[in-house]
Amino acid sequence: MSENKDKRNRGGAWRFLPWFIPSLFLILWIVVSAGGLIPTYLLPHPRDIAETGYAYVFGKLGGGPYAGRFLSDAGSSLLRVGCGFAVAVAVGLPLGILSGRLSVVQRLTSTTVNALRAVPGITWLPLAMVWFGIGMKTTVFLVALASFFPIFLNAAAGARQVDPLLLQAGAMMGVKRLRGTFAILIPGAMPHLMTGLRLGLGISWAYLVLGELTGVPNGLGAVIMDARMLGRIDMIVVGIIIIAVIGRLTDQLLQGGMRFCFKSARRMV
Amino acid sequence: MRPYLRAVTLPGEKRKERILEIERLHKVFHVNDGFQPVLEEISFRAEAGELICILGRSGCGKSTLLKIVAGFISPSSGKVLLKGKSVKMPGPDRCVIFQEDALFPWLTVAENIAFGLRGRGQDKKSKAEEVERFLGLVGLREFRDYLPGDLSGGMKQRVALARVLILKPEVLLMDEPFASLDAQSREEMQKLLLSLWRELGHTILFVTHDVYEAVILADKILLMSKNPGRIREEIRVDLPRPRSRDGSGFHHFCRKLYEAIRD
């Protein structure tokens, strides 16, 4: 396809392009810090951030308040995001596709879903804490709830816009309903499904931090909250950067995984 | 005549078997509280290997008729019999070539052609050979790994032909398949269709509004009139094949048809 053609024959500048804005930002930051324009208790020097980050990721446990905690924090956060996102996918994707194709399901779900969608996710936090206590369950609940909506809504939109001609073509070639769902409907809706999954995963990270702000002992959100209370602004910034990096990596992993598994994701998204 | 005698084919005589019978088809659409009759009293039959063109102006219900035969919509009354059996649902015995592009955009040319073979219990190797054969028949060997988005309109319709011919349908239903092509590709596709028809001997129902197309292709033309759609005339085209657009017989025939279609 024409997009693929565009990807070929690009020079080094093309490869550098995604890093342009972060680099610009970093340079500006260094200049501002070096000039002493902003006091360090509001924005630490990038060098301090780098040191704190290095200690957090590679340091020995016990070498400092946050040294070496990265693996266990990232591990538990990933587990929470993974569980919540998996629940949202398992419920949202099939339900969304059904609601996109069957007007009964659409009518059954649309009022409820859209009403619940209007409730800000943070509103659920007090209730979730009462129901599930502090920690894993509350976070998974919040993540699942928040990422359900983009996954469901995009799956429904995707399934709805699949060209009926393609389904007719399948029917006349003898494709039964179940196979048609996997061989025609899902590939045909793939661009939308992908969008929904990526949005869902993105929002998962947002609600992960929300869930972890409530005083759990470990996790990336917990570290940030802890650092705030101790006035360790450098650690807060490290936490933000790490979540940005992991968020981006999981997004790419999701896309790569989908491309690996589905021809339609490889060729149409 | 006793029944078993009917099946006997005399030497040299073309075997004539009724493949498709359309019996007293009616179709009424509901339009804001009212009823709009679209098809009325449609009856005809197609013999094995016959190429029938359904010719009529737009809005005469010819596409609706084809969709009923395909099983995409059901008639208000009447029957479609395939080899004597009533058919109601779409199936690979009556394959359709649509007017618009209906290929799967995420599959390559070869994968599109192989699509209908899945789940038929055929082994991989013979499937691949079949796909190769039909790729060759429609002249798309070099384009096997292209995606439909990279093909021209004519090439897309070739893929559409190959992916249904490979299923060996009893009847091929074609709904103005070449209408959106440029004049040159249309002529090429007509030639290709005729040569495939000669080689594979399918029964074809071909819907068109183009008089020339009908005369080039058809054994028999069903001339439809509008409001409601009826078959006004059944016309045998007895021009010798291969037909050329230059012959005076051809032009004479076309002129007669034009006059018939106008009133």
- Identify the domain containing residue B124 by its residue range: 101-168
The pLDDT score that the predictor gives to residue A7 is 55
Which among A98, A99, A87 has a CA at the least distance from the CA of A147? Answer: A87
Residues 6+ apart with CB under 8 A from B107: A263, B115, B147, B148
The pLDDT score that the predictor gives to residue A3 is 46
Count of structural domains within chain B: 1
Number of Cβ within a 10 Å radius of residue B57: 12
Q: Is B11 on the interface with A (CB under 8 A)?
A: no
Omega prior to B228 cis, within 30 of 0: yes
Domains of chain A: 78-156+191-268 (1.10.3720.10)
The more confident residue out of B247 and B79 is B79
Q: Is B102 on the interface with A (CB under 8 A)?
A: yes
In a domain, B136, yes or no: yes
In a domain, B194, yes or no: no
The pLDDT score that the predictor gives to residue B2 is 44
Q: Does the distance separating the beta carbons of A264 and B90 come in below 8 Å?
A: no
The pLDDT score that the predictor gives to residue B105 is 95
Buried/exposed B198-218: b ≥16 CB within 10 Å, e otherwise: eeeebbbbbbbbbbbbbbbbb
Name the burial class of residue B255, with classes exposed (0-12), middle (13-18) and buried (19+) by CB atoms within 10 angstroms of its CB: exposed
Residue B49's SS3 state is coil
Q: Which of B104, B159, B173 to substitute to test the interface with A, most A CBs within 10 Å?
A: B104
Give the HSE-up count for residue A142: Cα atoms under 13 Å, Cβ half-sphere: 33
The pLDDT score that the predictor gives to residue A178 is 87
Tell me which of A32-41, A160-169, A190-199, B215-224 is least confident. A32-41
The pLDDT score that the predictor gives to residue B263 is 64
pLDDT tens, B25-75?
999 998 888 888 899 999 999 999 999 999 998 888 999 999 999 999 999
What strands lie across the sheet with B85-86, from one edge to the other?
A: B34-47, B18-31, B77-82, B85-86
pLDDT tens, A140-185?
999 999 999 999 999 999 999 999 999 999 999 989 888 889 999 9
The pLDDT score that the predictor gives to residue B243 is 86
Which tokens is A163 given?
């060209």
Query: How far is it, in rounded angstroms, from Cα A8 to Cα A5?
Result: 6
Number of Cβ within a 10 Å radius of residue B188: 16
pLDDT tens, A113-152?
999 999 988 889 889 989 998 878 999 999 999 999 999 9
pLDDT tens, A259-269?
999 999 999 87
Give the HSE-up count for residue A109: Cα atoms under 13 Å, Cβ half-sphere: 21
Number of Cβ within a 10 Å radius of residue B32: 5
First to last CA, chain A: 11
The pLDDT score that the predictor gives to residue A236 is 93
The pLDDT score that the predictor gives to residue A56 is 92
Query: What is the CA A74 to chain-centroid distance, rounded?
Result: 14
Q: Does the distance separating the beta carbons of A168 and B104 come in below 8 Å?
A: no
The pLDDT score that the predictor gives to residue B6 is 45
Q: At B53, which amino acid appears?
A: C
Which tokens is B252 given?
């004479």
Q: Is A97 on the interface with B (CB under 8 A)?
A: no
Query: How far is it, in rounded angstroms, from Cα B188 to Cα B139?
Result: 12
Interface of B with A in 127-166 (CB under 8 A): 147, 149-150, 163-164
Q: What percent of chain A has pLDDT over 70?
A: 97
The pLDDT score that the predictor gives to residue A1 is 42
Query: How far is it, in rounded angstroms, from Cα B60 to Cα B229?
Result: 5
Interval A228-248 mean pLDDT:
93
Query: What is the CA A141 to chain-centroid distance, rounded?
Result: 15
Residue found by looking up tokens 């439809």 in the block: B224
Q: Does the distance separating the beta carbons of A179 and B116 come in below 8 Å?
A: no
Helix (H) or strand (E) holding B55: strand B51-55
Interval B190-203 mean pLDDT:
93
The pLDDT score that the predictor gives to residue A166 is 95
The pLDDT score that the predictor gives to residue A242 is 94
Query: How far is it, in rounded angstroms, from Cα A161 to Cα A156?
Result: 9
Q: Is B88 on the interface with A (CB under 8 A)?
A: no
Q: Is A1 on the interface with B (CB under 8 A)?
A: yes
First to last CA, chain B: 43
pLDDT tens, B150-169?
999 999 999 999 999 999 99
Query: How far is it, in rounded angstroms, from Cα B56 to Cα A128?
Result: 67
Q: Does the distance separating the beta carbons of B104 and A173 come in below 8 Å?
A: no
Tell me which of A157-171, A245-259, B169-183, B235-249 is least confident. B235-249
Instruction: Please tell me which residue of chain B has the smallest CA distance to A164.
Output: B102
Chain A residues with beta carbon closer than 8 angstroms to that of B96: 168-169, 172
pLDDT tens, B219-234?
999 999 888 888 988 9
- Nearest-CB residue to A172 (from B94, B104, B119): B94
Instruction: Please tell me which residue of chain A has the smallest CA distance to B168.
Output: A173
Interval A185-214 mean pLDDT:
93
Query: How far is it, in rounded angstroms, from Cα B209 to Cα B54?
Result: 8
- Reply yes or no on whether the pLDDT at B86 is more than 80: yes
Query: How far is it, in rounded angstroms, from Cα B96 to Cα A242?
Result: 55
In a domain, B161, yes or no: yes
Tell me which of A38-52, A93-107, A251-265, B103-117 is least confident. A38-52
The pLDDT score that the predictor gives to residue B5 is 44
Which tokens is A49 given?
């951030």
Q: Is A168 on the interface with B (CB under 8 A)?
A: yes
The pLDDT score that the predictor gives to residue B18 is 84
Q: What percent of chain B has pLDDT over 90?
A: 65
8-state DSSP, A183? I
Q: Does the distance separating the beta carbons of B104 and A187 come in below 8 Å?
A: yes
Question: CA B210 → CA B43, B60, B218, distances in Å?
Answer: 22, 14, 12
Q: Is B239 on the interface with A (CB under 8 A)?
A: no
Q: Which of A172, A182, A194, A263 to substitute to test the interface with B, most B CBs within 10 Å?
A: A172
Q: Does the distance separating the beta carbons of B164 and A173 come in below 8 Å?
A: yes
- Reply yes or no on whether the pLDDT at A221 is more than 50: yes
The pLDDT score that the predictor gives to residue B8 is 47
Q: Where are the beta strands (DSSP E) in A55-136?
A: none
The pLDDT score that the predictor gives to residue A237 is 93
- Reply yes or no on whether the pLDDT at B84 is more than 60: yes
